Chain A
């Protein structure tokens, strides 16, 4: 009987981080008494008095404040209410936090939690996936946990890292995804073979892992064994695991929920095409959301993002080649 949700894992990781290290504090909008828009910090303010702070609606100042605090030895965890709003703090993230170590030899250990990705009815400004944008900048670690175990262990690891971490937690998984326990931790920067196969490789991450696993299951009925690789961290990217999988299957589909122009899926394809062109038996494919803002109505939303059936369709195309 699975009982721990992805969201609870995130809350528990923060509880552990606060318990383990007195320098950890939480800062974000409505995260104190209220426990956060998604209740990811429920009761933490009561359990750790003076360590969980409501922030003004000032994403820029929230990140700037975390940077200054980190320089002084604190370990701030910043909750953006929605990943989308991190665009207001973008400058502090990419120009202040990401450059600090390289410019001044001063590490910047901050963890920025981005409740990411689409859920039905959330519309253009509460649904975005920002991992590709941040991955473009040097000096940031970008994590995209797809499982309850990773949500827990990777968040704990983020707080221990000396570098700024953009922690992209997927809102769609908050309540849907459950596990019996937190399982084993796996190192950051290593991808995981979520499902072994021999006919094609799907490289994906975050909520798209689960859509891809379902698509792989669909293809099994057609007699294909599709391997699914969960990137876990998009930066650094575990190119070795990707290449090893492509060496086994000869076919590659990369699936991501972010917008299609550039980004994580393009990066995977570029690396495979330039480093392992000879391993490919078919042109590598990529599947992202549509190139429009994210729609509000569930009918539109479902066909805006990749789904089990659109992934399965791409896989059939890939396997037919």
Chain B
């Protein structure tokens, strides 16, 4: 059960209209947290997961509140490292996460790429590369093509970045281009205070990252990334504006990464004091409390939701464990899709 017991801010706004979004996001958060706890234990146990494990703990509310607005197979999504919750909200089955971390041939990346580097570009779900900021223009390009082909309709695109990633040239170029083209794109900036170990003071000198929105000529939104209800409200507005043809939307969420860059990182550079600030509170605990306080869930519902998530993850894990690892002797070692252009093959 959520243990933190501070009061949520009471407000006169009618909240019923956010109930459905909130609960969808919350379910994604719970499932994401459960799945990532499993990934963390697999990593610590050793053996099954080769390479790193990169978790979104503390960023689930911000990520899920964006992901719930994206329709699987219809919208364009280019999530980043800490978007497990957003990916689930968008519609990615948890088994694809496990398959990619374990590198099984049944997964979307077939062992050729791993962990958070996964997607299905053919349906608009872009697979990130490690070079931060470079996915923004790819998502923008997909929207650009749909508009060119006259099938943009109410399609929207979304991508994410952290405070560190906003320092790259690729981010700037992509953001500027999307703004020039006035594309329906929502860009989430999770300001989680650290880029790996580098604090924001060494990353940027503006007052708030949202100030950059004005420079690009796009709308900027700020939100408390630890507060799911606020995130739900903010992203709803951002997506409505993007879909209404008002161009790209930057949404900056203030929060704290509740862990290391990856599970190999103990995050000893984060001062204890910071963990006890407002931005350091656990967004999942806050959201579960909010759900109960607003009468949207009982405490039993919250427990049931956690149990369902556990079952779903365990079931998926059971399946993936039996799935085959890639076989180098059966692998098609061909980097081009045009077989006759691959050297050593006949046309």
Binding site for B on A (CB under 8 A): 23, 25, 50-51, 55-56, 58-74, 76, 88, 91-92, 95-96, 98-107, 138-139, 141, 161-163, 187-189, 235-237, 239
Contact = CB atoms under 8 A, between A and B. Distances in A.
Given A61-B176, A106-B121, A67 B108 contact: no
- Top-10 shortest CB links A-B: A68-B141, A64-B137, A65-B141, A61-B173, A69-B145, A58-B173, A72-B145, A138-B335, A68-B142, A139-B335
A236 B145 contact: no
B267 interface: no
Nearest to A233: B341
Nearest to A65: B141
Contacts of A50: 148
A137 B98 CA distance: 29
A56 B173 contact: yes
Given A69-B144, A107-B337, A61 B131 contact: no
Contacts of A91: 131, 134, 170
Given A60-B173, A103-B112, A103-B127, A163 B119 contact: no
Contact of B336 (A23, A68, A101, A237): A101
A63 B108 CA distance: 24
Contacts of A188: 341
A69 B109 CA distance: 21
Interface of B: 76, 108-110, 112-113, 117, 119-122, 124, 126-127, 129-131, 134-146, 148-149, 169-170, 173-174, 176-177, 180, 334-338, 340-343, 347
Contacts of A60: 134, 137, 169-170, 173-174
Contacts of B173: 56, 58-61, 64
A74 B148 contact: yes
A68 B138 contact: yes
Given A61-B170, A236-B343, A56 B140 contact: no
A59 B174 CA distance: 10
A71 B142 contact: yes
Nearest to B139: A68
Given A61-B170, A69-B142, A138-B335, 4 more contacts: A62-B137, A71-B122, A106-B122, A139-B336
Given A25-B148, A61-B176, A61-B177, A96 B134 contact: yes
Nearest to A58: B173
Contact of A64 (B109, B120, B124, B170): B170
25 contacts: A23-B149, A25-B148, A56-B177, A60-B170, A60-B173, A61-B174, A62-B177, A66-B141, A68-B139, A68-B142, A70-B141, A70-B145, A71-B142, A72-B124, A73-B149, A92-B137, A96-B131, A103-B113, A104-B120, A104-B121, A104-B122, A105-B122, A161-B341, A162-B338, A188-B341
A62 B268 CA distance: 39
B217 to A, nearest CB: 12
Nearest to A99: B129
B140 to A, nearest CB: 6
A162 B334 CA distance: 14
A153 B268 CA distance: 60
Contact of A65 (B76, B126, B140, B169): B140
Contacts of B137: 58, 60-65, 67-68, 92
A163 B131 contact: no
Contact of A56 (B108, B121, B141, B180): B180
Contacts of A107: 337
A189 B339 CA distance: 12
Contacts of B127: 103-104
A236 B342 contact: yes
Contacts of A65: 137-138, 140-141, 144, 174, 177
Contacts of A59: 173
Given A91-B134, A98-B335, A139-B336, A103 B148 contact: no
A61 B134 CA distance: 8
B138 A141 contact: no
Nearest to A74: B145
A223 B146 CA distance: 62
Given A64-B141, A69-B142, A162-B337, A96 B129 contact: yes
Contacts of B143: 68
Contact of B119 (A58, A73, A104, A189): A104
